[in-house]
Amino acid sequence: MKRCSKIIGTGGYLPETVRTNDDISKLVDTNDEWIFERTGIKTRRIAGPNESAASMSEIAARQAIKAAGIEAGEIDLIIVATGTPDRVYPSTACMLQHRLEIQNCVSFDIQAACSGSIFALSIADQYIKSGAADKVLVVGAELCSRLVDWTDRGTCILFGDGAGAVLLDSSDEFGILSTHIHSDGAFEDLLYCPNPQVATEENKAEKGFITMKGNEVFKVAVNTLGRIVDETLSANSLEKSDIDWLVPHQANTRIIAATARKLKMSMDQVILTLENQGNTSSASVLLALNEGVRDGRIERGQLILLEAFGAGFTWGSALIKY
Ligand code: UT7
């Protein structure tokens, strides 16, 4: 069997504070019924004032390291996917490396919005397959609540904070079978978050909030995720019925249900965290994976399909024999 990337540990962290739909209905003109019906979300977690992408990453990463039964010092590479880094630089991954007291490894961030964890898994897999690294820590960490305009009902109902982590190790047994990642920069206007401090003259009036044409994003997401399912199955000569679990990015239950329908899967085969986490962007797939692994639904030897879609647009999948 060829060298592949096996999941040896997972972790996750959600901040303590819960914000309900009723809480949000005191801020904007909305209600619990509309939000739950249109998105599947009931509550989301909001990070405390002293929490950051690095601090949340550390908790998720330590859990994954413990589950893997390794020492932090054995890690060769740390990749953090985040759109809310603590600082422009150094990278959150370097901060995490320091927090984990690892003297000698390579650490960098990647930014692919909500597809970040799939992109990071794909990069990690190339490093492991090529022999450039053995143990790789992949983290997705987001403080979406600080990028949200709490007066915009089209976006503030959707997002939450959290961090997910996974530890990969080289194996000749099984692990990541394939990853498929894509980008198309033509859709910038449908979903973006300005960075006012480095804006051009033309853009400098824009505030640093998530700006989205939700309905248009929704349609592209459903079609694109349908295509990525076909691409992944055909690359591995598999049938829809071969997949045991769908671990999707958690943006909207209606989007997830469309992908499950495409796979002819029942919603019982989908790891859904959306209801109590909202959309945690690059953290969501790893948080869902962690939940499925820890509660015993995902078992060794099963086939799991991870997928995500986000700003860029970016989208991708990872097929894993767990
Ligand atoms: O993770 C990255 C990718 N992001 C996504 O995938 C998000 C994709 N988009 C979505 O999840 C959905 O488009 C939303 C949940 C954001 C919106 O749902 P929708 O069914 O697409 O609603 P809509 O934007 O078409 O709006 C329908 C109606 C509008 O009213 P009118 O014009 O029909 O009178 C909106 O003004 O719902 C209204 N509306 C709301 N009403 C109550 C929009 N937001 C709200 C709200 N509460 N929060």
Q: Where are the domains of the chain?
A: 4-173, 177-321
> Is residue 217 lining ligand 1, measured as CB closer than 6 Å?
yes
> Is residue 36 lining ligand 1, measured as CB closer than 6 Å?
no
CA of 154 to the centre of ligand 1 (A): 6
Distance CA 243, CA 233 (A): 9
Contact between residue 181 and residue 10 where contact means Cβ atoms under 8 Å apart: no
Residue 102 parent element (H or E): none
DSSP-derived pairing of the beta strands 106-110 and 77-81: parallel
The region that residue 281 occupies, defined by phi over 0 for left and psi between -120 and 50 for alpha, beta otherwise, is left
DSSP-derived pairing of the beta strands 43-46 and 77-81: unpaired
Q: Which of 218, 225, 253, 280 for a ligand 1 pocket mutation test, highest count of atoms within 8 Å of Cβ?
A: 218
- Give which of 85, 94, 17, 11 is closest to 52, Cα–Cα: 85
Structure token digits, residue 16: 């303590």
Residue 171: per-residue pLDDT: 96
Look at the block and give the residue holding tokens 């690059």.
282
- Looking at the domain covering 4-173, what would its CATH class be? alpha beta
- Domain 177-321: homologous superfamily in CATH: Thiolase/Chalcone synthase (3.40.47.10)
Give the global pTM: 0.98
CA of 214 to the centre of ligand 1 (A): 6
Residue 2: per-residue pLDDT: 79
Residue 1: per-residue pLDDT: 63
- Cα 29 to the chain's mean position, in Å? 29
Q: Which of 38, 158, 188 for a ligand 1 pocket mutation test, highest count of atoms within 8 Å of Cβ?
A: 38
| Residue 310 Cα: closest atom of ligand 1 | 2
Name the residues annotated as catalytic: 114, 249, 279
Distance CA 148, CA 182 (A): 26
| Residue 252 Cα: closest atom of ligand 1 | 11
Q: What are phi and psi for residue 306, nearest 5 degrees?
A: -100, 140
DSSP-derived pairing of the beta strands 245-248 and 303-310: parallel
> Is residue 193 lining ligand 1, measured as CB closer than 6 Å?
no
pLDDT under 50: residue ranges of the chain = none
297 Cβ contact partners less than 8 Å away, ≥ 6 residues apart: 245, 271
DSSP-derived pairing of the beta strands 77-81 and 136-143: parallel
Residue with the smallest CA separation from ligand 1 atom 35 is 154
Residue 204: per-residue pLDDT: 87
CATH fold match for the domains 4-173 and 177-321:
yes
